[in-house]
Amino acid sequence: MTGGTGFIGSHTVVELQQAGYQVVIVDDLSNSKVDVIDAIEKITGIRPEFANFDLSDRAKTLAFFLKNSDVKAVIHFAAFKAVGESVTKPLEYYRNNVNSLLNILESMKLSGVSSLVFSSSCTVYGQPKQLPVTESTPRLPAESPYGNTKAINEDIIRDFCHAEPSIKGLALRYFNPIGAHPSALIGESPVGVPNNLVPYITQTAAGLRKELSIFGNDYNTPDGTPIRDYIDVVDLAKAHVVAIKRLLEGKNKANYEFFNIGTGRGLSVLELVNAFMKSTGVNLPYKIVGRRAGDIEKIWADTSLANNELGWKAVVPIEETLLNAWKWEKNVRNLK
């Protein structure tokens, strides 16, 4: 698994190990910490193998695959992921996100690994004209280089699987993953200033940030703030277990498939902030600032294909998700 010490990756390692799979993590620790592996071991009782290198290094990636000849499948999480930052640093995003995938696919072919689950994103839909989005909703031009790397990578995987019939690809288009493991041992712990909403909320609640900035209240939504489909990270992690099982058992219906992974429900930024305050009892200072480059107005998923075809469904209530995120933040900061 690439990016296995990151937010979604670490939770997926836990779910895979608890489902009986052996996991090898590859991560360059550019946006995560190595002690996540200790936390995974505490939760599951199993220490995953770990290799520390950058997957955009072609020679190192191929050497890893050839050395680990017993690998049966790859889940590819590793990517730069900040929407706003990608607008100001597009070349870094294209170089890292696209090159790493090319190296992985080439290495899979040369080492005989036949299954890939790709960490995609609802950003591939751009600002859709109709909501909720289904898998047949047309992909519109992405609003950010980050989103465009996901769309480009989906196309690369589709074309590669078409050219290499022995290789199967499955892309999971995540909506907005939030929360933390109920144990409070792993969660979202970005290096530096958070780019995602919930860690900024919890860090503000913990007193690390003076106040939360809400980017724009002049969108065409009921309260003027953007609407997203927020999914619990453990629910999301479980979708990867189902996806891997589908590929390894040969239950996929095409060489390349893709699924929306969300809750099917849209919440505005202000609704999420209010849900956090209500579920935790913590008052949250916030201010409205200008819109952020690359943000879309509103999006949420139709998840019926994933529900029916994968047998997967998001089940964790938003209040529980936000409580887990707060519990994690308090644990990290040693707060009562």
Instruction: Report the catalytic residues.
Output: 146
The residue among 226, 307, 297 whose CA lies nearest residue 261 is 307
Q: How many CA atoms lie within 13 A of 74 on its CB side?
A: 32
Query: How many C-beta neighbours within 10 Å does residue 49 have?
Result: 12
- 183, 325 in Cβ contact below 8 A? no
How many angstroms separate the CA atoms of 165 and 114, rounded? 9
Task: Indicate the helix (H) or strand (E) that contains 74.
Answer: strand 73-76
| Beta-carbon count within 10 A of 299 CB | 23
What long-range pairs does 16-19 form, CB within 8 A, spacing at least 24? 16/240, 16/241, 16/244, 17/44, 17/46, 17/48, 18/44, 19/241, 19/245
Closest CA to 147 of 93, 104, 88: 93
| CA–CA dist 52, 2 (Å, integer) | 10
β 168-174/256-261 pair status: parallel
Q: How many helices (H) and strands (E) does the chain have?
A: 11, 12
Q: What is the DSSP letter of 301?
A: B
Structure tokens at 84: 């706003």
Q: Identify the H or E element spanning 59.
A: helix 58-67
Torsion from C-alpha of 127, 128, 133, 135, nearest 10 degrees: -100
Please tell me the distance from the alpha carbon of residue 12 to that of residue 44, in angstroms, as a whole number.
12
